[in-house]
Amino acid sequence: MAVVKLFGTWFSPYAYRVIWALKLKGISYEYIEEDIRSKSPLLLQYNPIHKKVPVLVHDGKPICESTVILQYIDEIWPQNPLLPADPYDRAVALFWIKFADDKVYLMSKLYQADGEEQRAAVKEWLEMLEVMEEHVLIGGKKFFSGDEINMVDIAFSFVAHWLGVLEDVVGLEIFEPHKFPRVSSWIQNFKSIPLIKENLPDADKMSAFSKHGREMMLASKSN
């Protein structure tokens, strides 16, 4: 019987993408927690190029990069598909997944910024949220592709949960629900799904962890 292992870290949105994908498909797996400040030899062996989590190991074979992992999972276990069957619809979904992937850096950008840089980072966040509101969540759908979540929702999940933690850490409200009603509905729908609700990193724990790290980082910046 093939064994599935997942290397992740408790706060990583990328690791959670894989957790949700595996659970959506009903796949059992062994989870291995990595300390990113002290990576295990096994992780470095499985992902020598990027040395990062998540890494999925299926039957001894490693797959790296969360979007590649999710597509692999979708091909091996086709139940509860993560991508549309039609090639054009799939290309559109992959476009939005890439868009989301290219914006995750805004998390660390805002986290590390102060002063003018912070204002610039907030502006970029708002631009991204506007694109979600005006271009992605049109048509009154519950989720990005319809009534069920798929890889596009999973890709934007950092907005649904991690953004709230970031706002708490930097002490700013970036996402005002009344300004982004469609995004707001989507977040509520997404976090109401039992599989998602029951599998989210603790926000308070993340907040405390990140606040401490940020204080240290900003202090060393000003020294």
Stretch that binds other proteins, among 29-37, 84-92, 184-192, 198-206 (CB under 8 A): 84-92
What are the distances in angstroms from CA 207 to CA 162, 168, 200? 10, 7, 13
| 157 in contact with other proteins (CB under 8 A) | no
CA distances from 46 to 6, 39, 59 (A): 11, 11, 13
Token couple for 123: 């502006």
Q: At closest approach, how far in Å is the CB of 196 from other proteins?
A: 25
Regarding 91 and contact with other proteins (CB under 8 A), the answer is yes
Q: Is 68 in the site for other proteins (CB under 8 A)?
A: yes
Please say which residue, 29 or 72, places its beta carbon nearer to other proteins.
72
Nearer to other proteins, 166 or 183 (CB): 183
Residue 216 binding other proteins, by CB under 8 A: no
> Which range, of 16-24, 57-65, 142-150, 171-179, touches other proteins by CB under 8 A?
57-65
Q: Looking at 49, 138, 198, 220, which residue binds other proteins (CB under 8 A)?
A: 49
Over its C-alpha atoms, the chain yields an Rg (Å, rounded) of 18
Q: Does 99 bind other proteins (CB under 8 A)?
A: yes
For residue 63, give the nearest of 186, 145, 74 by alpha carbon. Answer: 74
Q: Does residue 17 contact residue 155 with C-beta atoms inside 8 Å?
A: yes
How far CA 186 is from CA of 18, 40, 69, in Å, comes to 20, 37, 24
Token pair recorded at residue 112: 């590390």
Q: Determine the size of the site formed for other proteins (CB under 8 A).
A: 25
- Bridge-based pairing state of the strands 55-58 and 4-8: antiparallel
Q: Residues in the site for other proteins, rule: CB under 8 A?
A: 49, 58, 61, 63-65, 67-69, 71-72, 75-76, 87-88, 90-92, 94-95, 98-99, 102, 131, 135
